[in-house]
Chain A
Amino acid sequence: MLPRISAASQTGFLRSVDAGPETGLIAAVEKEPSLARSTGKIAIASLTSRITGFLWKIMLVWVVGIGVVNDSFNVANTLPNIVYELLLGGVLASVVVPLLVRAQDDPDGGEAYTQRLLTMALTLLGGATVVAVLAAPWFTALYVDSSTNQANPELTTAFAYLLLPQILFYGIFALLMAILNAKQIFGPPAWAPVVNNLVVIATILVFAMVPGEISLDPVRMGDIKLLVLGVGVTLGIVAQAAMLVPPLLRTGFRPKWNWGIDHRMREFGGLALWIVAYVAISQIGYMVTTRVLTAGDAGGMTAYYNAWLLFQLPYGVIGVSLLTAIMPRMSRAAADGNIKKLISDLSYASRITTVALLPIAAVMTVVGSSIGVALFSLGRGGAGDGAERLGEALGIGAFGLLPYALVMLQLRVFYAMKDARTPTLIMLVMTVVKVPLLYLCPVLLESHQIVLGAMLVNSLTFLVGAVLGQMWLWVRLGNLRSKRVLGVILFTSFASIIGALAAFGAGWLIPDWLPVTLTAWLKLFVQSAVGFGVTLGVLALLKVDELKPITTRLNALRSKVLKK
């Protein structure tokens, strides 16, 4: 699955903070000193939005279970994101934002440019939204494979009618955020997704309270529950976009229809085209994923989607906070053509990412199913073995965590070197590998195991991506000191495997006559503690240098959070 998109589908915010920098946003903005100062605050907002965003996903499982309804909702709720990304997302990050920053030097402070941009984007998005809503059944047919009678395309379409209007508001949010960022306002855009998540959480509470069931056969648009969920989630995105209007007006900007294309936009045409191609190719991978999953067992899509969110969490929280400091340095080195410095920063970033994420991946492999049961088996999530399967999917895919993080790192280096082509080609190879392997899953696996296979394939794809990325960076830059990185990976793998074995052993200590959920929580805590403890101990014994910055940074982060 495409990192950008999936990050984006978690909350609109992730796309902007996480994926934005990958596409030149950071190159344009981060030289401003105030960004460094606001990074801390943004990190807190990012963390909050991730947690609340994840909370509502879990709550949704508690309320509707891991089954056809949740599957349909998840597929339908990704559709607006996909359309938005294809139309505007990539172009926005790569073209519009750098131009916005430049336009601030216009005699009118960029007002005319901003008006023109908003006019054009809103027209485009408005039209696209109408077309997309009309084409909802067609989208469903594209993303849902109902040939095995495991999916419910009617329900997906019903949700899609209610959720697709989000396209317009995603676009408005992203544009307003870009405008505010260009004006050095970072707070409201960072917190807006939290508002979205709160609205959705309220929606789910209402959903749980209203009487009735979502009828599956036939699907009725008038179902009160269906309406509550669909409209509520869309309202969340509306609120997220609306949040940004007052701060924008406060900057003195006056919205006005202003037709015309700014000639500066053309300069970036080529770059944007490659980025759009990147998005489009990754969408093929995503489409095949949803088709295979919806054709498999009911609940597979939900399990996969939530496992993927869980999978990303360590990178999002730890990886990003470790890399915040080093990313701007790398972009600057690339901009200055200082290849030596770029390589040494890349190598360093790869090594600390390794030391931070490999132990987590190892422990995740062991405690995966406990995480699934612990988090998702409340309420309706407890029915069947969906929660456990979700956790198993996480455990099986966990090894992809480091490759995933490395791919993200390499992407940033490529984009910092203004090379949008190589990432697209790498994505092409990844997709070419992924699609046949995904179609292999239903052949080799029982239908309820397909989600496990899909997660495995996904992680393997990132492995391909990471190796290819390293290779093509080598082609561009020469010796990358990969040996040192590999050394750290080997040492850390060794420590992590010992840690994972210890954690596995610790699992025997937990009595299994306790209630299932309690056992899962106990296992989660005990095994994680043992796993991390042993891994850190071994790493310390091996005297891995890269351990030091991580401990100091984690300490700093902890004291920072405590201070807040």
Chain B
Amino acid sequence: MAPGGVVGDGRYRLLAQLGIDQRAGAHFWRARDGQLRRDVALTLLVGDPADAEAARAARRTLERAAHAAQFNHPAVARVLDVLSLGSGISAGEGLLGIVVSEWSKGTDLIDVIADGPVTPAAACRMLEQLVDAVEQAHNHGLVLGIDHPQRIRVGPDGVLRLAFAGPMPQATLRHDVRALGALLYLLLTARWPLPGGPGIMQPAPQGPNGRVVPPRSINAWVPQELSALATHTLADGGEGGIRTSAAFLRVLRQAAEVAERDELIQSGQLPPDSHQDPDGGIWTTQRPTNDPARRRKVALGATLLVVAAVAIIAWVGLSLISFFETDDGATGPEVNVAESSGKRGQKDKKDKEKQVAAAAVTPSQVQVYNPEGTGDSVDRAPKAIDGDPSTLWKTDVYKQQLPALKSGVGLSVSFDKPIDLAKVVIHRATKGSKVEVRVADNPNPFLDDARVVVKETEVSGDKVELTLAKPTKTSHVIVWITKLGGDEGAFATSIGELKFFPAAQP
């Protein structure tokens, strides 16, 4: 047989040989139908008619091809005629049979692969129609016989097509499915994984277990799904093996979706979320990856950030509270002025006070002296003798000035040992307040029993000294407020600190 020769009783002129399936002795030719003047694809079954075994095998192949003549699918070239010895083939031709199929335009698969493997997405696209064809054929009980790469051509639409019909006599449905896996493998790696492939094609390397290695280990860019699909389909049985075209199609479609998306991302048509950084710089326009480990790191960092931010907010917030609250109506504006001015000059004043305070005697006890009522910050009385003028004791807020509700209110202090009281110093009393100093026998006497030692005096200001006319020995001193500070409707007096000085010892 050579190009230009004729077969099939001279009807078909051979144009070019496109391949040969050694296993079945099938030669694939492009030929010209001399009668209908069209190109056809011929599968020539070459063999010695005297060999009964070969003749029977050829007959079987032809029968199967004849069945396939009823099958119609875009991915399968239609079988036009089946010629056997004695009916269309003369004995001298050296042929056992011819399967005539319509000619599939396009390229040989081998030529496509010769440039190297195709992308995963392209492989899926190319294969999908053919898988569907296998599925359809299997539903009709037909075996297509696609288990040889040279039987397949790539159409102008880029879709694989079974161009040369005529399945092997012993081929089963399972062989078709395996062949799908093999084709996928071929597309992804440019190597043919099944035995009996064409010599010009590199066979797939085998692993130590005798099986072909997964496509992924040949080409790392092959997606795991596709790689697994190919190996699982090729594997004869075993766990996770894929045995039906329906299963193959299902997995292929899933993998195709992923592969397609990846391809679009790589071509820049979709926002990438791959691990690669195409920008290659420190700044990247990519969205952060969705990998949990990475997210955990981000979250840990953000946790620290939030904690720090909240700590700052809290500091600011607390300072604001302390700022605004002293400005509140309840405390009175005077106190505010006194307090802020007090805070400004606090440091050097404290130093000075220490020198004077060396002589001051600290009372052992203090309580609110309130013979005619209750209230007036009983709990905060100790703030008046705590040594810190910035902490206040404060009366309640009165709607009316003393002595409308009661004649007065005061602080009563007691000393462990009687002191020779000479001077009382009042720090930071509310502006407008007036006090008397009285001494008594016990911390809670009747008002009339407490002797006045300093007459009513205005005590506004940071520091007011009240000196006794004559030092008086006593254990109990009462600072008695007779007039409250503050404004109309909100009278109150606060006292920062009380200090008691004894007469200087000779």
Contact = CB atoms under 8 A, between A and B. Distances in A.
Q: Do A and B come from one complex?
A: yes
A149 B62 CA distance: 110
Contact of A464 (B290, B307, B397): B307
Contacts of B321: 396, 445, 449, 452-453, 456
Interface in B392-430: 396-397
Interface stretch (A30-38, A283-291, A467-475): A467-475
A150 interface: yes
A69 to B, nearest CB: 12
A440 interface: yes
B313 interface: yes
B296 A475 contact: yes
B299 A474 contact: yes
A405 interface: no
Contact of B314 (A68, A298, A447, A456): A456
17 contacts: A68-B379, A298-B379, A396-B321, A429-B307, A432-B307, A436-B311, A440-B315, A441-B318, A444-B319, A445-B321, A446-B325, A448-B380, A467-B306, A468-B306, A474-B295, A475-B299, A479-B290
A297 interface: yes
Interface string A128-166: 000000000000000000000110000000000000000
Given A452-B325, A456-B314, A429 B303 contact: yes
A87 interface: no
Contacts of B317: 396, 453, 456, 460
Contacts of B375: 383-384
Nearest to B375: A383
Contacts of A68: 379
Contacts of A468: 303, 306
Interface in A93-122: none
A472 B300 CA distance: 9
Interface in A435-487: 436-437, 440-441, 444-449, 452-453, 456-457, 460-461, 463-464, 467-468, 471-472, 474-476, 478-479
Given A475-B299, A479-B290, A460 B314 contact: yes
A478 B288 CA distance: 11
A410 to B, nearest CB: 13
A433 interface: yes
Interface in A362-393: 383-385, 388, 392
A472 B298 CA distance: 10
Contact of A384 (B302, B306, B307, B396): B396
B368 to A, nearest CB: 13
A298 B375 CA distance: 13
Interface string B447-460: 00000000000000
B314 A457 contact: yes
Contacts of A472: 299
B301 to A, nearest CB: 10
B322 interface: yes
B492 to A, nearest CB: 11
Interface string B265-287: 00000000000000000000000
Contacts of B314: 437, 440, 456-457, 460
A433 B311 CA distance: 7
Contacts of B325: 392, 445-446, 449, 452
A461 B317 CA distance: 13
A445 B379 contact: no
